Structure formats: structure tokens, C-alpha cells
Chains A and B, each alone.
Chain A
């Protein structure tokens, strides 16, 4: 397969997955803001999505005050923010258009229709009363795209690169979402374990569709260490890092890799590490530090994939 085509397919899938995860992050933020009665706590909550996506600088270049509508406008609709839902949907469609002959017509039509439907939403609704409906719509479109892809595409390189893009992006996003909690740490020790703490963890679980899964798998109260275990190491949970890396490794293994540049080796290493990791140890040495390490590794793997298969030789 041409590198350019593989690159477009890889990014098309990443961008759809990113749009979905943005919707998830913004959904949980809108929810958490309701609980932060104190101004300082609210600001922390609003700042978290910017910090974890590393877009805080870009935000404050154009905004003086951090409010929920301003945050939603920037992260959902800002054309200049390359990670905004708007940008993701736009580029997913652009990429699909460029390779519409190498993907199925159903895939192209799904992304094209998504882009056209996006224009039917009104800005004031998205940053206001209709935010939840909008985020649900984004998630639905992403589910639809993944289903259409899985249901129609030939099991060849296009499928491999699409899968690689989806799950690498998802691994990255799950790590970032889990890290939200670090950024909104409660100010006083006595609040930990309190009602607010509980709601924060519950909201976080819901944001990755894992609230029911937690209940089913653990049949227990919500404990931070178990939430972390679920999102990092539980392969039955389809958005966990371990589950994502099962998929990443399998997709990479199927790619004809004469000039791999260490991509497969790194994916294998990360896969093994997640398989044998121990959540107690991770907590002892610091969850935030562990997540930062994960994000670095995922970034490096992305770079190696880019160099080996998608870029110039």
C-alpha cells in the first residue's frame, strides 16, 4: 500500500477516535463543573481538559477568562484548535476524501454525512443547553464509523492501519482522561473519600463508558486504585490501555514490516509491560508519573510508525 494512502487512513481513524474522546472529556468536565461550588475548584476543573490535551497556552492566547462556554467553544468548535471536535471531523473527512477509492464507499459516506450534519448544529446550542446532545451525537457518529469500517473493509493493510490509528489514539486518550483526576486533586485531605471525590471518580468512569463495567467486575464501592486498574490493566474493558495495546500489537504484527524502525519492538515491549504490571506498584511510584510515561511511550510509538510506514523513506 502507498505510504500516503496508509497515512491518510491511519489519521482518518485517529481523528474520528479523537473526536469521540474529546466529546467524552468535555462531557465529564461539564458534569464535574456542577459539583465544584468553590471558584478555585471550578477553575481547576475547567483547566484540566486543557492541561491534559496540552492546549492551555493556545487557549489563553485568545481568551482572558476560562468559563465553561469558552472552553466548549474552544475544544468543540474552534477551527484553529487542531484537536477540536470540529477540526477532527473536518480532517477525518478530508483524509477519507483523499483515499475514497481505497476505503469502502460506506466509510466515505459516513464521514461525509457526519461533516454535513455538523453544520446543522448551532454554536450557541453546543456551548449551551444542547452540549450533552451534541457530545452524544459525536460519540454516535464515531461508533457508526467504527462499525461501518469493521463491517465493510477488506482485511488488508487498509484495515490494519485504520485499526492501528483507532487504538493508538484511544490508548493515548484513556491515559489522558485518567490523568484528569490528578489535575483536579482535592485541596484538603479530608475531602478525599468524601462525596465530591466519589462523584469525580464516578463521572470519570462514565466518561469512558465504564461505570457499569466497574460495578459488574468489582461489585464494590468506587476506589481510586480499582478505577485505575480497570482503565489501565483490565483487558476485558475495551477502552483500557491493556485492551488498546492488544489491538495495536495485533494490527502491527499483521503489517508487512520489512523496514520497521523499531515500531513493532516498542509495541511488543509496551504490551508486555501492561500485561505484567501491578497496580499497587504503579500507585506507590505515582499514578500521574506512570501515565506521563505511558503518554511518552505512545507518542514515541506513533513517531516510529510514522517513520517506518507512513512518511518518507
Chain B
């Protein structure tokens, strides 16, 4: 199996550069070395138990109804030196700012299309493009209040953006719970070095959501809208609502009357100003979108368009995080900000282009192919780790509808030492920082580190057997 040969090891220096570990991991390595294996095993069991008791679980699509799985938590942290994080933070801010500018532009003057930077059909015929958003003025001109930007570190040591998530990115609750768990299990680790805190995320999120209120108001009523208890991310919805001290509502709790959105409470109706919705665009309003949706609120779109309620994220952000739009993001940064992109894109072939398609068809077994609208690690091909039969089956799917796919070189995700059955072994990881855009751009240092627990696997998604690690930014 021709797996990528080289990859960047987050902890250990390469063999050629002398033995040893990278400076920022020294503390953890010493601590690991000094800990007897029984104690490690005991602590890992304790973590499992605590996660189960708190109910931090993840419902998996296709499993027996309501089945809940624990996301494996690995106790060896992923560490990022502060200087590196500062570079990433600058790049993230730049990228998300440009993406928000882009979203405002395509629903207004469409300057970027007129300038020929992006082909108009790429935007206007995209199924995530919402005609109903045209001309709508949003508070602070922010469309994606909460963005999850997936980063990987390549064998060259550089970070690359793998994809942008501007719809309803999830995972931040694991970031917070992982930190809580680490501090509880290994307080001694935090005493000896300064790990930048992440616990204030819910506060920042609430600030961001309040900043999205339709008018200047002292205390806008914010709610979290969930599809309900059977949704895979229900734990996170409930967790964030509780942490922010706001109501967790379902579609049926809300109704539209006299141009406003209200929630039904035991004390009567109460007006709602900002909806942090964890429901997809198509399900938000059965009158405007899918009529069979029970998850949404009839009439919501009309209130939204009248500027009497805010949605976070806005409708129609999907056009900017679509995998077929992704190749244009560096150009967006240059176009709107007149800056060079700080974070690199992964080279991408767009299979709707005949030349790109031909090249990809010749090298399919070496590449990664993704559906432009896919997410969660579903509907993708990883050439090098697939059988010949799988590759050929996928080839047929691509040829049936090339525009639905993009291809990228198989990236060598960096590895981080991880507890596995045989002991400690390197496993591939990525990083999802959460970027909050309100009156300005904010984040907590780090993000969610996902780890592919299967040896050699590059798929870190929790729906595909991935785990998580606590992510440290250290001074």
C-alpha cells in the first residue's frame, strides 16, 4: 500500500536532525516518561468514565435509532508554540474576513464576479446560493459568525487550509470538555507551564451573537435552535445553550407573529432577536424551503428579510465553503484585502474543467477526491488507501457527474503520539480552530484537534472512528 512516505511529527525531531523532541513538547515528554503505565491506564479509564457520565456522546447516522457513541479522547495533548499560533491567528482572521466580504459582495454588487476573479456561474448556479439574500443588509456585514477552519500540517512543516466550514461547524464543545478533562486528570501538567486558556469561549460566543442582533439593543434575546435530541450534535447544542445561559429551542418552540419571532413559554410568548441555528438552510422555514421540514419555523424567512431577527450563521453561507469555491479563496483575499494569503490552500483540481478531469483520471489512485457538497468524511475517495475495485467504482461515479467533485494530492497529515492498544504510536491529526466574527474577529487559542486512531488512516472525522485531543497553545 503506497501510503505517503514522509510526514511531520509534531513531537519528535526528524532522525537526521539529531535525536530528541521539539522544545515545546519537552515538559509533556518528561511527564510521560515519569509516569508508570498502570497510572496512565487508570487515568484513561477515569476519563472514559467521566465522559460517559456527563453524556458527552455523539449520535451516529445509520446506527440503531438513538445509538450514542463516545468520541475517543486521547490524553496526550497536541501542542502549538505561541509564535506559531500567532501566525495562524493572523491567517485565520484574514481568511474569515475575506470570506465574509465575499459573501456580502455576492449578495450585493458582485464586484468579484464583474472583475472576472471568479466565474459568475461558480457562484450564481451554486445550489447553496440564496436568491432571497440578495440586497439584504446584515448587522456588521457579517455572514459567518461562527467559522470552523480545518487546518493540516504538511510534511514541509507548513500549515494548509483543508476546508472552510461556514454553515454550522461543530466540535467546539469537545474542545472545551477536553481541556476540562485534562485539567481534572493531570493538574500537575498545567502547574509547570503556561497553557493559554480556552474556557472563555462561551462568553465570546454570546458576545458575538449579541453583536448580531438586528438593532442596537441592550439585551437581545439569544436562543440556540437545534433539530432535536436525535441530531448527532445534540450534546453540543445543549452544552452551548447551557454554558451561555440561553434557551435551547426546537422549531416548534418558535412562531412568527406580526413580523417578529417569538418562543412559547409557560409565561406567554417571548420575543427572540438572535437565533444561533444549528439547522441547515433548507430546513429553516417550510414556507420558503423544504415544505416537509418539521425542524424549522414557518415564516422565519420573512421576519429575517424584514430585519427583525438575526440568524447565525446567515442564510446562504454555503456558497463560500463549498469545495468547488475553495480554490478561489486565496484570490478573494487578494481581491478584497489587497494582501497575500497567510494560510496556504491545498492545490485542487476542479473536475468540471476538462483538463483537470483528464489529469485526475490518469492519477486517480494517488489522489483524494471529494464531493463538493460533502461533509463528515462521507462520499470521498482516498486513492492510496483504497482497493483497485473501490477506485474504479469511484471513477464511474466521477464520470457520471464530474462537476460534483474536486481532487487534491494525498496530503501527509502530521502525526502526534497517541495512546493505542500497543502503547504509544504516531497517529495523523488535523486542527479546527473556531473563528468568531462579530464587531471584530475573536477566537480562543487553539481549537479542536482530531486524530485518526486507525494506523495510517487520514480520516479524522468522529463519524468515521476519529478521536480528539486537548490542544495547547503554550508560551
Give the residues from 237 to 260 in chain A that come closer than 8 angstroms, CB to CB, to chain B.
255-259
Chain B residues in 8 Å Cβ range of A312: 255, 264
Give the residues from 279 to 313 in chain A that come closer than 8 angstroms, CB to CB, to chain B.
309-310, 312-313
Q: Does A97 contact B (CB under 8 A)?
A: yes
Q: Does B267 contact A (CB under 8 A)?
A: yes
Cα-based distance from A4 to B229 in the complex (angstroms)? 13
- Does B266 lie within 8 Å of A97, measured CB to CB? no
Residue of A nearest to B254 (CB): A2
Chain B residues in 8 Å Cβ range of A313: 255, 264, 268-269
- Does A100 lie within 8 Å of B268, measured CB to CB? no
- Does A255 lie within 8 Å of B248, measured CB to CB? no
- Does A100 lie within 8 Å of B250, measured CB to CB? no
Interface size on A, residues (CB 8 A): 21
- Does A97 lie within 8 Å of B264, measured CB to CB? no
Give chain B's interface residue range (CB within 8 Å of chain A). 20 to 34
**Which of A100, A101, A105, A255 lies in contact with B266, CB distance below 8 A?**
A255
Shortest beta-carbon distance from B327 to chain A in Å: 41
Residue of B nearest to A310 (CB): B266
Chain B residues in 8 Å Cβ range of A258: 267-268
- Does B229 lie within 8 Å of A2, measured CB to CB? no
Chain A residues in 8 Å Cβ range of B268: 258-259, 313
Shortest beta-carbon distance from A6 to chain B in Å: 5
Residue of B nearest to A257 (CB): B267
Shortest beta-carbon distance from B239 to chain A in Å: 8
Cα-based distance from A105 to B248 in the complex (angstroms)? 17
Cα-based distance from A3 to B238 in the complex (angstroms)? 17
Q: Does A161 contact B (CB under 8 A)?
A: yes
**Which of B55, B238, B249, B255 lies in contact with A2, CB distance below 8 A?**
B249
- Does B229 lie within 8 Å of A97, measured CB to CB? yes
- Does B263 lie within 8 Å of A2, measured CB to CB? yes
Residue of B nearest to A102 (CB): B248
- Does B266 lie within 8 Å of A157, measured CB to CB? yes
Cα-based distance from A105 to B56 in the complex (angstroms)? 13
Chain A residues in 8 Å Cβ range of B464: none
Cα-based distance from A6 to B250 in the complex (angstroms)? 14
**Which of A2, A97, A100, A105 lies in contact with B265, CB distance below 8 A?**
A2
Shortest beta-carbon distance from A92 to chain B in Å: 15
Chain A residues in 8 Å Cβ range of B253: 2-4
Residue of A nearest to B241 (CB): A101
Residue of A nearest to B248 (CB): A101
Q: Does B252 contact A (CB under 8 A)?
A: yes
Q: Does A196 contact B (CB under 8 A)?
A: no
Shortest beta-carbon distance from B299 to chain A in Å: 15
Would A256 and B242 be within 8 Å (CB), given that A3-B253, A4-B252, A97-B229 are in contact?
no
Cα-based distance from A6 to B253 in the complex (angstroms)? 12
Task: Beyond the given A1-B265, A4-B250, A101-B241, please list 17 additional residue pairs across the A-B interface where CB-CB is below 8 A.
Answer: A1-B267, A2-B264, A2-B265, A2-B266, A3-B253, A3-B265, A3-B266, A4-B252, A4-B264, A6-B266, A98-B228, A101-B242, A101-B248, A105-B54, A255-B266, A256-B267, A259-B268
A contact residues vs B (CB 8 Å cutoff): 1-4, 6, 97-98, 100-101, 105, 157, 161, 255-259, 309-310, 312-313
Which 10 pairs of residues, A with B, have the shortest CB-CB distance? A3-B264, A101-B238, A309-B266, A256-B267, A6-B266, A1-B266, A258-B268, A259-B268, A98-B229, A4-B253
